[in-house]
């Protein structure tokens, strides 16, 4: 993706400072980005016209939406998590997610809402407000409890969990927690004692969850968990719907095992089942964790700057599904990616055996390609696995697909004065090799299976490769077959060797309808479009 951008165009427009609106921006003259957090916006504006898409949590970017975006190169999720984006979609699009550092992004806003719900649960504030608006004066009905001296269990001690802990400690709460990643000595430095969940449940007066939604955290608070808690424990979820089992929570509320719940998120949003929302001991909000002007401005600015960094060749930070590209994605790398894929397609076409490859070895040559073996190997595998002109694997899923099909991929780098890529493949104990480079911005083939071309072969358009013994009649005979088929010869590259069977390449106006017409003239022949 060779895109020239002016980073200042993002800054001067206060990019995404208000993601509550949908906006279109043209970055320079090349890249059009669609910014939206409106849930149904994509039904009215087709993503096929845009190179990039930035969303918040409400917009669901499904596989269908991604497939419709024929020009999409990047999808950014301004906020924490990418559960509203189908990151497993079988297309080459980089998915970016901004992971905020305190006090940036959503962190402070989500932490403050959590604290507000904890306080509201302890003093029944929303219920008392409703009662007052109904003209009542029920002082005894809304007897609350102090937070001072109570135990707060924090499940998930990341950025938000930390901010909640430090704020609630100021109320005199004892904070304990659980996190399988954050070291206990780190959380201890900000006043949280870590322990196992089995130890945590019985000690808590209040529990708040701050984990991503994944198989290990789905239904973390369930019937079994509630049974281990103090009777009357109060719980808060400002993280993701589903971490607390909603059916189990309702049962715990009805039995009194749970004394109250503050819910900002639900499994289904908006929830059609209103049992929890309507329960008198539940305080519910319509997913307001990041709904502050400050959080919206931070999220929009940071994801916009990330896109500018990516498009201008800087470090690709926050990539969810394209780690192979993180340290090496730049406009200059685009031609090398095309080279790797084209070399893979050439070797696939020119191998005598149609059996699957068993090994792939990619070697980068030259100091500037030292960090490029990752995307070069992925690109080569894309070429090797692509069948014909139809859409095949991509840089993101190529290596996993190779592993699934039993192909071993090895990479290497060697210092060399020349910049080049060497691709070697093995099939049925036979080896095939191609060497290529980028010259004047064009991917070229330098060598094929030991045949070094006098003139580098530009890897573009329709190409006819054939292997034959050198003779004065060879060129005339092959061009005669082309002429008979109405195919024009556009370029010709011969090997440097003067004797023996060598590989030759012709650039042609269109592919031959029947390549079998060359069988009597050459030992092997293959054609492809790159």
Retrieve residue 503's tokens.
């590989």
In terms of domains, do 383 and 481 share one? no
Provide the 3-class DSSP secondary structure of residue 290.
Answer: coil
With respect to residue 196, please indicate whether it lies within any of the assigned structural domains: yes
Yes or no: say if 74 and 51 are a contact pair by the CB < 8 Å rule: yes
With respect to residue 358, please indicate whether it lies within any of the assigned structural domains: yes
Residue in 88, 146, 198, 269 annotated catalytic: 269
Chosen domain end from 420, 451, 482: 451
CATH number, domain of 39, equals 3.40.50.720
Q: Which pLDDT does position 339 carry in this prediction?
A: 94
In terms of domains, do 260 and 391 share one? no
Residue in 77, 159, 210, 240 annotated catalytic: 240
List of the chain residues with pLDDT < 70: 1-49, 56-58, 70, 73, 78-84, 86-105, 309-332, 352-354, 388-392, 396, 497-499
In terms of domains, do 144 and 188 share one? yes
Q: Tokens 């006819």 — which residue?
A: 464
With respect to residue 2, please indicate whether it lies within any of the assigned structural domains: no
Cα 432 to Cα 338: distance, rounded to the nearest angstrom: 20
In terms of domains, do 468 and 519 share one? yes
In terms of domains, do 189 and 119 share one? yes
With respect to residue 289, please indicate whether it lies within any of the assigned structural domains: no
Q: Which pLDDT does position 373 carry in this prediction?
A: 83
Buried b / exposed e along 391-422 (16+ C-beta atoms within 10 A): ebbbbbbbbebbeeeebebebebeeeeebbbb
Residue 77 falls in the annotated catalytic set: no
In terms of domains, do 410 and 490 share one? no
Pinpoint the alpha helices (H) of 290-426. Answer: 293-311, 333-350, 373-385, 398-404
In terms of domains, do 94 and 119 share one? no
Q: Tokens 């198989």 — which residue?
A: 215
Cα 442 to Cα 104: distance, rounded to the nearest angstrom: 43
Q: Which pLDDT does position 375 carry in this prediction?
A: 84
Q: Within its chain, how far is the Cα of 348 from the centroid?
A: 29
Give the total number of structural domains in the chain. 4
In terms of domains, do 80 and 192 share one? no
Q: Which pLDDT does position 443 carry in this prediction?
A: 94
Give me the half-sphere count of Cα atoms (radius 13 Å) on the Cβ side of residue 331: 11
Q: Which pLDDT does position 320 carry in this prediction?
A: 54
Residue 454 falls in the annotated catalytic set: no
With respect to residue 35, please indicate whether it lies within any of the assigned structural domains: yes
Q: Which pLDDT does position 39 carry in this prediction?
A: 42
With respect to residue 277, please indicate whether it lies within any of the assigned structural domains: yes
Q: Which pLDDT does position 170 carry in this prediction?
A: 97
56-115 pLDDT, tens digit per residue, is 666 777 777 777 776 776 777 766 556 667 655 555 555 555 433 323 468 899 999 999
Chosen domain end from 393, 420, 451: 451
Structural domain range at position 49: 9-102+294-312
CATH number, domain of 466, equals 3.30.70.260
Residue in 22, 287, 334, 462 annotated catalytic: 287
With respect to residue 1, please indicate whether it lies within any of the assigned structural domains: no
In terms of domains, do 167 and 271 share one? yes
CA nearest to 463, candidates 450, 453, 473: 453
| pTM score, whole prediction | 0.54
Give me the half-sphere count of Cα atoms (radius 13 Å) on the Cβ side of residue 81: 17
Residue 462 falls in the annotated catalytic set: no
Q: Which pLDDT does position 26 carry in this prediction?
A: 42
Retrieve residue 170's tokens.
């100021």
In terms of domains, do 302 and 343 share one? no
Chosen domain end from 266, 284, 302: 284
Q: Which pLDDT does position 228 carry in this prediction?
A: 97
Cα 406 to Cα 88: distance, rounded to the nearest angstrom: 21
In terms of domains, do 269 and 305 share one? no
Q: Which pLDDT does position 298 carry in this prediction?
A: 78
Q: Which pLDDT does position 390 carry in this prediction?
A: 53
CA distances for 266 relative to 112, 245, 262, angstroms? 19, 10, 11
Q: Which pLDDT does position 89 carry in this prediction?
A: 58
In terms of domains, do 373 and 267 share one? no
């Amino acid at each position: 993706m060779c895109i020239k951008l002016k980073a200042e165009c993002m800054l001067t427009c206060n990019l995404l400072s208000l993601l509550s609106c949908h906006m279109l921006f043209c970055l320079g003259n090349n890249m059009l980005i669609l910014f939206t957090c409106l849930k149904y916006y994509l039904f009215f504006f087709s993503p096929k016209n845009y190179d990039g898409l930035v969303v918040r949590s409400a917009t669901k970017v499904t596989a269908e939406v991604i497939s419709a975006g024929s020009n999409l190169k990047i999808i950014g999720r301004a906020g924490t998590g990418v559960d509203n984006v189908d990151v497993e979609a079988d297309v080459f699009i980089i998915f970016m997610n901004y992971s905020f550092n305190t006090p940036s992004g959503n962190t402070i806003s989500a932490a403050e809402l959590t604290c507000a719900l904890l306080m509201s649960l302890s003093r029944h504030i929303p219920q008392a407000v409703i009662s007052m608006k109904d003209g009542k004066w029920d002082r005894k009905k809304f007897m609350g409890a102090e937070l001072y001296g109570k135990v707060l269990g924090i499940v998930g001690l990341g950025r938000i969990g930390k901010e909640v802990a430090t704020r609630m400690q100021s109320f005199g709460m004892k904070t304990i927690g659980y996190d399988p990643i954050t070291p206990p000595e780190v959380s201890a430095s900000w006043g949280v004692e870590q322990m196992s969940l089995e130890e945590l449940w019985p000690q808590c007066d209040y529990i708040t969850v701050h984990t991503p939604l994944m198989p290990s955290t789905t239904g973390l608070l369930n019937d079994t968990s509630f049974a281990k808690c103090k009777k009357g424990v109060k719980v808060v979820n400002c993280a993701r719907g589903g971490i607390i089992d909603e059916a189990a929570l309702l049962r715990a509320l009805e039995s009194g095992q749970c004394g109250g719940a503050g819910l900002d998120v639900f499994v289904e949003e908006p929830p059609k089942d209103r049992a929890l929302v309507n329960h008198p001991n539940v305080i519910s909000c319509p997913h307001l964790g990041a709904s502050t002007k400050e959080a919206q401005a931070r999220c929009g600015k940071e994801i916009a700057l990330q896109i500018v960094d990516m498009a201008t060749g800087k470090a690709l930070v926050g990539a969810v599904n394209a780690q192979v590209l993180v340290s090496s994605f730049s406009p200059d790398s685009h031609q090398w990616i095309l080279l790797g894929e084209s070399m893979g397609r050439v070797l696939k076409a020119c191998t005598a055996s149609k059996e699957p490859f068993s090994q792939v070895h990619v070697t980068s040559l030259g100091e500037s390609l030292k960090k490029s073996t990752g995307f070069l190997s992925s690109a080569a595998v894309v070429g090797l696995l692509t069948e014909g002109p139809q859409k095949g694997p991509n840089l993101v899923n190529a290596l996993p697909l190779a592993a699934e099909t039993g192909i071993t991929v090895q990479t290497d780098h060697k210092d060399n004065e020349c910049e080049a890529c060497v691709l070697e493949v093995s099939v049925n104990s036979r080896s095939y090799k191609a060497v290529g480079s980028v010259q004047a911005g064009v991917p070229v083939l330098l060598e094929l299976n030991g045949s070094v071309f006098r003139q580098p072969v530009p890897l573009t358009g329709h190409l006819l490769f054939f292997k034959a013994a050198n003779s004065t009649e060879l060129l005339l005979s092959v061009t005669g077959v082309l002429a008979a088929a109405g195919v024009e010869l556009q370029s010709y590259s011969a090997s440097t060797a003067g004797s023996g069977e060598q590989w030759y390449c012709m650039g042609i106006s269109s592919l031959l309808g029947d390549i079998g017409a060359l069988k009597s003239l050459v030992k092997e022949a293959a054609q492809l479009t790159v």
